[in-house]
Amino acid sequence: MSAHHSGIGMTSQRTRMRMIERLREQGIADEVVLSAMSTIPRHLFVEEALASRAYEDAPLPINFGQTISSPWIVARMSELLRANARLNNVLEIGTGCGYQTAVLAKLTDKVHSIERIGPLLTRTRIRLHKLQIKNISLKHADGLLGLAEAGPFDGIIMTAVTTHVPSSLLEQLVIGGRMVFPKGSQKQNLCLIERNAQGYTETILEEVKFVPLLSGVER
């Protein structure tokens, strides 16, 4: 680890607690989510040159034209997915730098995360391994297909925007399970889909801004 990174590491706990305070002021109420985010070194998930900005409430560029979601987005999606209960088995689509994955790992017994850009996933794999996060399994694939062999899931979270979620993916939810994702194209909103015995209900929430969901994989 470079001097620059470890220097930030020394002050990061304080900076992180200010981020948590801000999230609380911005309406995040799930203390389990806030507590998880207070322990994860977000500055290690961005490029060194941006590490000093890692705790700002903003998305930042990672690599390959992708972005790390802002702390508020990660917190909000996590609390929507959790609905105040510990999760068992979660599917994440769009691993990116792995920050949301690391947060989810604290909220659930097991996280399966899928990323379509191979070299991005390789770096994330190394990062999460160094942080010794063990209850995750990463896969290089097109996430829209889901991961039926590892399901069913009590939560599915997708961090790239689309207008439509295939029913084959929603069928990988347990009855009582929830999916959270950005829905739309130009105008986007967080969308919560809940599966019940009769079918699915959809709730449209805050306006957001995400990179697009793409099909196929990049090597």
Residue number with CB closer to ligand SAH (12 or 69)? 69
Amino acid occupying residue 178: R
User: Could you give the dihedral angle defined by the CA atoms of residues 34, 35, 38 and 42, in that order, rounded to the nearest 10 degrees?
Assistant: -70
Q: Taking the complex as a whole, how short is the minimal distance between the CB of residue 212 and ligand SAH, in angstroms? A: 7
Residue number with CB closer to ligand SAH (131 or 196)? 131
185 is catalytic: no
Sheet of 87-93, strand order = 136-140, 108-115, 87-93, 153-158, 173-184, 188-196, 199-208
Q: Taking the complex as a whole, how short is the minimal distance between the CB of residue 161 and ligand SAH, in angstroms? A: 9
Alpha-carbon gap, residue 66 to 109, rounded angstroms: 27
Structure tokens, 166: 């295939």
Task: Point out which residues bind ligand SAH (CB under 6 A).
Answer: 62, 66-69, 93-94, 96-97, 99-100, 114-117, 120, 142-144, 159-160, 211, 213-215
Q: Which of 69, 70, 113, 167 is catalytic?
A: 69
Residue number with CB closer to ligand SAH (186 or 198)? 186
Q: Taking the complex as a whole, how short is the minimal distance between the CB of residue 45 and ligand SAH, in angstroms? A: 7
Q: Would you name the residues annotated as active-site residues?
A: 69
